[in-house]
Amino acid sequence: MPNLPTILILDDDPSHLKLYAWVVEQAGCRALTVQVKSSSLDLPEGESISLVLMDYRYSSSLTAADIVGAVESVFPGIPIAVLSELYGMPPEMKAHAIAFIRKGEPQELVNRLKGFRETGVLPQALAT
């Protein structure tokens, strides 16, 4: 079996974690989920992570910037993509994230992750 890229998914909603883990697996990648809790998150140290998919809005005292800081301290240089119901990249995330993917468009996510799996680069949004 080939070495599959591991995608770390960060969200505060357990149902979103399940759904997006399934979508990531449909793209031929390994999904690893972490639920953002009210004031903490437990990142899986020692894992070989290829890409982080993170929500932007959390029902937590942690902000997206706090979470980026925690991720970058455990996984320096890891590419981060924002997965959100928003319609575009939040301005404060542009310096930290390589891509924006809209929630609710699972085929777009599958297609882009397949490209990432094959090339190691997350393709920009596909034309609709």
How confident is the prediction for the chain on average, in pLDDT? 93
**Helix ranges restricted to H, the chain:** 14-26, 64-74, 106-119
- Beta-ladder partners of 99: 81
CATH of 6-119, picked from 3.40.50.300, 3.40.30.10, 3.40.50.1950, 3.40.50.2300, is 3.40.50.2300
Domain boundaries, given as residue ranges, for the chain: 6-119
Residue 1's pLDDT band, with cuts at 50, 70 and 90, is very low
pLDDT digit string, tens, across residues 82-105: 999 999 999 999 999 999 999 999
pLDDT digit string, tens, across residues 37-71: 999 999 999 999 999 999 999 998 999 999 999 99
- Widest Cα–Cα separation across the chain: 41
Q: pLDDT value at position 57? A: 94
| Res 20 pLDDT > 80 | yes
